[in-house]
Amino acid sequence: MGDGIVSYKYEDIRNFYFENELGERIDCQKIDGNLFFYNVTGLGYEEEIEYVQIGDNFIPNKKKIKQNQIAGDLEFYNMTYDEYCEFVDFILRATSLRLVYVPKKTVRTEYYRDIDLFKIDKSEEDDFNVLPCPIMINCKTLWYEAKEVVYTINPVTNELRWDFRWNPIFTAYDNRNIIFENKGHTDAPFKLELNGEVVNPIISILEDDVIVKQLDLTGLTIAQGETFIYNTKDTEQEICKVSSGVKTNLFEFLNPNFINFYTLKKGVSTIRLEADGEITSGKLTIYVQYKAV
């Protein structure tokens, strides 16, 4: 098998990586390297649907996505047992893991999935110096993209920078509207990071120019040198500020009677950021989610 694979190019196949919480990766589709992930199953989706019968018809009553399980075979080449141990060490030392998947598509896009790799087997090295190892993975999220808009405002030039092809719209420094079209399969969580000084921030979600969700943080001051973080991703939900590496939770600003971690519906939404004074530096990451890619 190793002899036949070498003729392919990266753009001709799909690619897989395992990534830890530090952003370090193991390439599992190295055509001319030491590791190859193949016979992969479980990349699609499955739903559990309950129906109510009305006459001769069946009406969906309850629908939920079923937790995916991905399986496949890792093949270790050349220094097989050393490579195997390095891979296991990488997996077991990580505090969190993502599977990165780049499908064979016209536009090469990276999709992520938070995972637990809960099983890896090991057999014997074969006559071709290949060590085959079946693995099994539990998925903790849907597939998602991480779309970012980074804004750093210079008060002289009013320079605005963003790195995705969608059009954020900003008004005054103390009131920013960011319009986003969610083309995913479900609502999209997001992570907002604001660099201080920011006083009395208010985060609103608008649909058709009407405020449908609002997080009013009046009374909060993010000082110079501090960073405010508001993350609505289910597996990473937090609201805090960070100063010199020290994180302080801000749960006292949440209302226990309401949902406080908002998401963006499918279609067009507006995120409005308000504060007393300028909001000059920050990053918004929107996690566009897909049931299958």
Place of tokens 């990451």: 285
- Share of residues in the chain with pLDDT > 70 (%): 84
Could you report the per-residue pLDDT of 224-277, keeping only the tens digit for each?
A: 999 999 999 998 999 999 999 999 999 998 888 788 899 999 999 989 888 998
Q: For Cα atoms 50, 235, 41, give the angle at the middle one, nearest 5 degrees.
A: 60
- Range name among 79-88, 148-157, 224-233 with the lowest pLDDT average: 148-157
Q: Of 122, 32, 112, nearest to 77 (Cα)?
A: 32
Beta bridge partner(s), residue 114: 98
Query: Would you state the structure tokens that stand for residue 164, as one six-digit string?
Result: 């995705």
Residue at 214: amino acid letter: Q
Q: In what order do the strands lie in the sheet with 169-170?
A: 169-170, 175-182, 267-274, 202-207, 210-216
CA atoms within 13 A on the CB side of 150: 4
Lowest average pLDDT, out of 25-34, 80-89, 109-118, 203-212, goes to 25-34
Structural domains for the chain: 2-140 (2.40.30.200), 144-290 (2.60.120.880)
The two structure tokens encoding residue 78: 């050349």
Flag whether the pTM goes above 0.85.
no
Most distant CA atoms of the chain, gap in Å: 70
Kindly report the CA angle at 91 between 88 and 97, in degrees rounded to 5?
Answer: 160
Is the distance from CB of 187 to CB of 180 less than 8 angstroms? no
Cα three-residue angle 84-90-96, rounded to 5 degrees:
140
Of the candidates 63, 267, 103, the one whose C-alpha atom is nearest the C-alpha of residue 185 is 267
H helical segments located in the chain: 2-5, 80-93
Look at residue 242 in the predicted model and tell me its pLDDT: 96
Q: What pLDDT is attached to residue 108?
A: 77
Gap between the Cα atoms of 190 and 270, Å rounded: 13
